[in-house]
Amino acid sequence: MAFRIGVTGHRSSRLGADQIARIDAQVQSVLTMAARAAEGARRRYDREYADADPILYFVSALADGADTLAAKRALESGWRLLAPLPFSVETYARDFSGADRDEFEAMLDAADSIAELDGLRDSPMTEERAYLQAGLVTVDQSDVMIAIWDGEEARGVGGTAMIKEEALNAGKPVIWINAAADKPPVLIKPANVETPFSEEIFGEAIDSIIAPPPREEIEHSFAGQATRALFAYRTFSDERPHLFNWGSFFQFWEKTFAGKLPTVSLWNATPALEIKRARSSTLAQKLQSSPHDQAVFNDLIIPRFAWADHLAVHYGNLYRSSYFFNYIFAAAAVLFALIDLVASDFEFGSKTIFISIEVTIIVMILGVTIAGKRGRWHEKWIDYRQLAEELRQYRLYFLTLGRGVTEDIAQGEGGAAAGWVDWYFDATRREAGMTSGSFAAPEIRVIAETVLTEEIRPQIAYHDRKAHTLHAMEHRLHHLGEYAFGATLIVCLIYLVLAFNAGKETEFEKWAYGAKNDIKGMVTLLTGFLPSLGAAFFGIRVQGEFGSTAERSHATAAQLKTIASKFELLVDGDKPRLDVLRLRVEEAARAMLMENLDWRLLYISKPLNLPG
């Protein structure tokens, strides 16, 4: 369990000397209440959170005055300091002198992570923008904000009043400690509703942030099943590695229908191997600017992403192999129901054997469908894929001081039941803390170039390949279905021609009469089996949504190509800026997450069912 409080406040010049002790005491009171609430929640939710003391982060830009006062109090109370500085340490240190300088340097030495933003001081406007950027990062890295504020309107860009409003707009509660008058703190909720501050009310606000998903059952409308979001999370936490590749059946037919060599492996990569590969990627290596980031990246973000991805692949393969199996073998069941009409002419097999095979196939189809429904393969595939994508994009957000995007991801059918995904992602994001390092122009250029070459361009290539493969599958399945129905028509026409010309007068009529009787069994077999085969191809197309998914991948690739060109401008620019980098990362991540959202909404209505 982790919880983060940030601070925004006035400089020393706007804090009355007679108010300092009172402000300090109120900050201490807030920190004490928060620590008690977090520990109480950890005990209350001991099944969902690790049996360890909560990680308490305090986020402060360390400006002289309220920021420094609150940060000092937090460090003395055992909180971990996250310091997003508006300028480089060397530049920022010029704001302090004497004892204040010593205190500033001591807090930097004690900080858990320090992010040196790329603020400039070449004009009053750029200096204000630097403080605004630091304030926005503080909001992004916090769950609750303390505003040490005199209640006056904002006097400039990046001031306390503006950052307080930004926090409320971002849905973060704000604790207002009056900087000018001896008044008790006030809790301001995101709708700008002021509530008298108390430990009970503050505890409820903290609980609403860190509490696990609800226990109530939530109906999956399309699946016709009720899901407890908390149960879904516990199921996820109890999962084990799945090494046998149950998706080999699907992968064989996928490659066959796509016109590729149908080679498959019966074994999945182990999660440990997947984690090792992700840790050795260029993206992971180039962007780790400190031992702190290496620990967060290698021991937190990558393992959780790789685990969710491993499970998503497993259940996706199970689900897709199942509906391929159901449709193809449903057509096979029809074949064995009719094959005796032909086999008896060749004295091959018996009606009892063929009906037994048909029954066996039907039982297998029923067994697969029941196992899929009870095992929630469809639901797990969708939820685990969503979580994996959120964690994958968070690699970029973490390393560029973003907060990650989860809005709208769990909306739509089945979204409420998947609320545990966003809860787990948010808990991971809080636990990760903040990246540490410099964001000067050379570092920004390296980050931009690495994200471009290691994430965006590979994703473009992936979506181009995916679109091509799925288009090929859609067209081949479409044509195979047409051929099956066309062949049925030809067989019927041949039989009708023979039947129309059958007789006992001419040699041709006699031949037609004999041929009609000879092929009667085969005609019945083909005119029953071929339409069922065509229906199976159609069912696979409808269930797989290959055409729609191909179009979405094509659109995503096109969108990412546009974003890639913006990254190229950033890499080639003389003075790349952090705010532009963060914007570009958000555009790229949102494009990929929205593709996943569209995919989710498309497939949530496609649970595993018996073939009609």
Domains and CATH numbers, the chain: 2-210 (3.40.50.450), 225-603 (no CATH)
Tokens standing for 152?
């006056």
> Percentage of residues in the chain with pLDDT exceeding 70?
94
Contact 161, 191 (CB under 8 A): no
82-139, pLDDT tens digit by residue?
999 999 999 999 888 888 899 999 999 999 999 999 999 988 899 999 999 999 999 9
State the Cα–Cα distance between residues 117 and 140, nearest whole angstrom. 14
Buried b (16+ CB within 10 A) or exposed e, 123-153: eeeebbbbbbbbbbbbbbbbbbbbbbbbeee
**Residue 221: what pLDDT?**
46
The pLDDT, as a whole number, for residue 79 is 97
Which residues neighbour 198 within 8 Å (Cβ) at sequence distance 6 or greater? none
pLDDT in tens, 434-463: 998 899 998 899 889 989 998 999 999 999
Q: Which residues contact 394 (CB under 8 A, 6 or more apart)?
A: 301, 305, 404, 425, 428, 429, 432
Task: Report the range of poorest mean pLDDT among 86-90, 246-250, 410-414, 572-576.
Answer: 410-414
Assess contact for 32 and 241: CB atoms under 8 A.
no
Mean pLDDT for the stretch of residues 364-390: 92
Q: Per the structure block, which two tokens stand in for 372?
A: 């899929």
pLDDT at 582: 92
With tokens 């059946």, the residue in question is: 249
**pLDDT band with cut points at 50, 70 and 90 for residue 409:** very low
CB atoms within 10 A of CB 442: 10
Which percentage of the chain shows pLDDT scores above 90?
63
Q: pLDDT of 109-123, one tens digit each?
A: 999 999 999 999 988
Could you report the per-residue pLDDT of 512-552, keeping only the tens digit for each? 999 988 899 899 999 999 999 999 999 999 999 999 999 99
Cα–Cα distance, 444 to 425 (Å, whole number): 26
- How confident is residue 415, by pLDDT bands cut at 50, 70 and 90? low
**Quick one: pLDDT band at residue 175, thresholds 50, 70, 90?**
very high
Using the predicted structure, report yes or no on whether residue 472 has a pLDDT greater than 90. Answer: yes
Return phi, psi of residue 527, to 5°: -75, -10
Region 179-191 average pLDDT? 91
Which amino acid would we find at residue 17? A
The pLDDT, as a whole number, for residue 497 is 94
Average pLDDT value for the chain:
89
Cβ burial 169-198 (10 Å sphere, 16+ → b, else e): eeebbbbbbbbeeeeebbbbeeeeeeeebe
**pLDDT mean over 159-174:** 93
Chain segment 4-50, per-residue pLDDT in tens: 999 999 988 888 888 999 999 999 999 999 999 999 999 999 989 99
| Dist. CA 589–CA 389, nearest whole Å | 9
C-alpha–C-alpha distance, residues 373 and 379, integer Å: 9
What is the structure's pLDDT at 486? 96
Mean predicted confidence (pLDDT) in 411-415: 51
HEC string of 213-266 equals: CCCCEEEECCCCEEEEHHHHHHHHHCCCCCCECCCHHHHHHHHHHCCCCCCCCC
Per-residue pLDDT, 283: 66
- pLDDT-derived band at 313, boundaries 50, 70, 90: very high
What distance, in Å, lies between the first and last C-alpha atoms of the chain? 48
Query: Residue 22 contacts by C-beta under 8 Å, 6 or more apart in sequence?
Result: 182
Would the pLDDT of 262 be above 50?
Answer: yes
- Nearest to residue 463, comparing CAs of 592, 588, 568? 592
Sheet holding 193-196, edge to edge: 193-196, 186-189, 174-178, 144-149, 2-9, 55-59, 80-85, 113-116, 437-438
Greater pLDDT, 347 or 549? 549
Predicted local confidence at residue 41, as pLDDT: 93
* pLDDT at residue 222, as a whole number: 45
Query: Averaged over 481-486, what is the pLDDT?
Result: 95
